[in-house]
Structures are given as C-alpha cells and as structure tokens.
Chains A and B, each alone.
Chain A
Amino acid sequence: SQTIHQWPATLVQPVGSPLSLECTVEGTSNPNLYWYRQAAGRGLQLLFYSVGIGQISSEVPQNLSASRPQDRQFILSSKKLLLSDSGFYLCAWAGTVDSPLHFGNGTRLTVT
C-alpha cells in the first residue's frame, strides 16, 4: 500500500532563517505531488504541485520554492523565512487522473 512521510512534525524557526521540509511517498511510482498550507483559521492553500521530476508549478508568488529531485521526493524550501510563513504545511500525492489527494500528517511551522 502507499504511504506518505512528512517531517518534521513541528518546527520553530527565527525570521530570516532558511527552511527545508521534506516529503516522500512509498508504494507508487510517478505520483503527482503537492504542497499545501493551512494558515490559522483558514482553508488549504495550494502552494506548489509537480507532475514529474524537475517539473514544478507554483500557485502563489512568495518566498517559498519547491523541488522534486527524485520521483517520490518533494521538498519545500525558503532562503529567508518571514513571520507570515507560519502555518501548517501539508504534503500530498495523487495517482491517476480521477484519484483523490492523500495527505501526510503535516508540519507545524512557527516563525518567531
């Protein structure tokens, strides 16, 4: 069966520090991969998605970036965090065209 791993579960970072969140999927090949963010009291905002290695689509212009160095690995990065980057970050994958998204357990990021 397919599983998705996302780490760390919680992270506290100072303003201006870099960020790297990692997500890996097991049990499937060539998944579509996604990063979402849930800010306090808000819905799920799509940040990036990828349909293949090296292919990244950005939905929200900001100081975050994403990379997909391997088929089942998706990384969310920032060179310098802002206070507004605080939130709950979720990685997800989807398989075939009419398949649902499957989410990881999320990373709670607090920028201080």
Chain B
Amino acid sequence: DQQVKQNSPSLSVQEGRISILNCDYTNSMFDYFLWYKKYPAEGPTFLISISSIKDKNEDGRFTVFLNKSAKHLSLHIVPSQPGDSAVYFCAARESGTYKYIFGTGTRLKVLA
C-alpha cells in the first residue's frame, strides 16, 4: 500500500524554465511534508518542508505547495539549473508518529 505516490518517474525541463514535481498521498493523518534531492550513490539531501497548517513555503528557488483537500503537494523550482538534475523524493510524516514515508521518486533532468 503506497501511501505517498509520485506518479511521474521522470521529467525533462529546459534550463531557466520552471520544474514542477508532484506528489499525492492517501493518509489524511500526515501532517508534515518534505522534499529531498538525491544524487546516485549518495544519501538524500533535505530541500524544503511544509507543515499541514500552511499551504505554501518558499526557500530561494524552491517553493512547496500543499493542497490538503486534494491530498497533493508539489515542488516548484524556478529557474531550473543543470545542477538540479537528480532524483527528487517527497516524504510525509504521520501525526503523532516518528515515521517518515517516502514516495518512489521523480528523476528530473534539466537540459542546458
């Protein structure tokens, strides 16, 4: 039972344009959401997070949007850079627990 889903396994974007990565979840008890970036043979690196009491959080080129009614979150990267090419994972934590559940990842390729 995949509680966190990233339905697009890959995405290609031109340098300078916006990258939009999507994530859907099924568990209404999730209250904290995160995005990670991962290069091959390395551990994931934390990018940005959002609490369920908010619907938007920005950090530089990265913005995360949360739509609780649709159980959907997205990561916007503007402008996209070639160094952003990596696999992006969304994750969610269930309220009252310490469990972080990850999606299957989306491979982003930013074309120069």
* Chain A interfacial positions (CB closer than 8 Å to B): 6, 32, 34, 36, 42-46, 49, 51, 57, 59, 88, 90, 92, 94, 98, 100-106, 108
Contact = CB atoms under 8 A, between A and B. Distances in A.
Given A51-B98, A101-B91, A90 B44 contact: yes
B30 interface: no
Q: How large, as a class, is the contact surface on chain B?
A: 20 to 34
B100 A103 contact: no
A92 to B, nearest CB: 8
Contacts of A88: 41
Contacts, number: 56
Interface of B: 6, 32, 34, 36, 41-46, 49, 51, 89, 91, 98-105
Given A42-B104, A44-B89, A98-B51, A90 B98 contact: no
Given A46-B99, A101-B34, 10 more contacts: A36-B102, A43-B102, A44-B44, A51-B98, A94-B100, A101-B44, A101-B46, A103-B45, A105-B42, A106-B41
Nearest to A92: B43
Main secondary structure of the interface of A (DSSP, over half): strand
B41 A108 contact: yes
A102 to B, nearest CB: 7
Given A43-B105, A90-B43, A101-B91, A49 B98 contact: yes
Nearest to A108: B41
Interface centre among B41, B44, B46, B99 (most CB of A within 10 A): B44
A104 B104 contact: no
Contacts of A94: 98, 100
Nearest to B45: A103
A100 B99 contact: no
15 contacts: A32-B98, A42-B104, A43-B103, A44-B89, A44-B105, A45-B102, A46-B101, A59-B99, A90-B43, A92-B43, A101-B46, A103-B44, A105-B43, A106-B41, A106-B43
